[in-house]
Amino acid sequence: MVDVPDELELTAPQARVLGCLMEKQATTPDAYPMTLKALTTACNQTSSRNPVVAYEPTLVEATIHALKGKGLARIVHPARGERSTKYRHVADEALGFDDAARAVVAILLLRGAQTVNELRTRTERLHHFASPDEVESTLDRLSGGSRPITRRVPRAPGQKEERWIQLLEGDVEARAAATSEPATTSRGTRSSELADRVERLEHQLAALVDALGDLLDADTLATVRDVAASTHAVGTASDGGDGTGTDDGSDGG
């Protein structure tokens, strides 16, 4: 096990970066560990994120170093023939996560408070839960022990289910009081399907950014992001809806 502080109190950027690393490990394993450019793109996705952010690479890099200091991330230095430093998380080792736990915590980090049914749907690409009961069992397991990771909170206005939040991040009470993303209605079904398509494209974009590495300059990357964001915005409006290398600190240093 990796030594981690008793109180992690992650900042919002740290929660976002850690969540992205956990997500992409499962959804784009060929592009994991991640380059700084790919990780920045993942943080700034316009789908499957709440809230949507626009982090600069300098902030993402500083954040990954802060996560390393807390025992949750590692830096993978380029091997011979490689150009880019890459980054990976070690939350599984540090916090004892299995695939199911990693999936639900990743979504809670990336999207805020969620109901059991929302988690079952939104973790589908990370881990398959056969039933809502399996999701709730995982959440209950994470909420116990000497270091609780999740907590049940009251349901949001208009929702019939209680929600869950992660406890890795600070401002627990404020996040518990915040409303979750609007639930999908029959009117929003097509919009949800479009959002799923945009999400898949953004996953592919992250893999492309990682493959191109330093050949993709900052201006080109910004243009691609703008196109992706515009596609998501236009689509929603039209529907009427709203490698190997040296691992720095692999022994826990």
What amino acid is encoded at 241 in this protein?
G
Element (H, E) at 151: strand 150-153
* Domain residue spans of the chain: 12-184+243-248
State in Å, rounded, how far the first CA of the chain is from the last one: 12
Task: Classify residue 132 as exposed, middle or buried by CB count within 10 Å of its CB (0-12, 13-18, 19+).
Answer: middle
Which residues, 6 or more positions from 57, have their beta carbon under 8 angstroms from its beta carbon?
36, 37, 40, 218
- 60 to each of 7, 47, 73, 148, how far by Cα in Å? 22, 19, 13, 27
What amino acid is encoded at 188 in this protein?
G
Q: Which two tokens stand for residue 199?
A: 């999400």
Q: Which two tokens stand for residue 18?
A: 């850690």
pLDDT in tens, the chain (253 residues): 456 666 789 999 999 999 999 999 999 999 999 999 999 999 999 999 999 999 999 999 999 999 999 999 999 998 887 789 999 999 999 999 999 999 999 999 999 999 999 999 999 999 999 999 999 999 999 999 889 999 999 877 787 889 999 999 998 888 777 755 554 444 444 555 566 666 667 666 666 666 665 565 666 666 666 665 555 555 445 444 444 566 766 444 3
Give residue 183's pLDDT.
Answer: 47
Which residue, 101, 221, 82, is CA-closest to 166?
Answer: 101
Give residue 217's pLDDT.
Answer: 62
Give residue 75's pLDDT.
Answer: 96
CATH architecture designation of domain 12-184+243-248: Orthogonal Bundle (1.10)
Q: Report the C-alpha gap between 147 and 154 in whole angstroms.
A: 21
- With H, G, I as helix, E, B as strand and everything else as coil, classify residue 98: coil
Q: Are 78 and 85 in contact (CB under 8 A)?
A: yes
Q: Report the C-alpha gap between 7 and 182 in whole angstroms.
A: 31
Q: Are 130 and 78 in contact (CB under 8 A)?
A: no
What amino acid is encoded at 174 in this protein?
A
183-214 burial: b if 16+ Cβ within 10 Å, else e:
eeeeebeebeebbeebbeebbebbbebbeebe
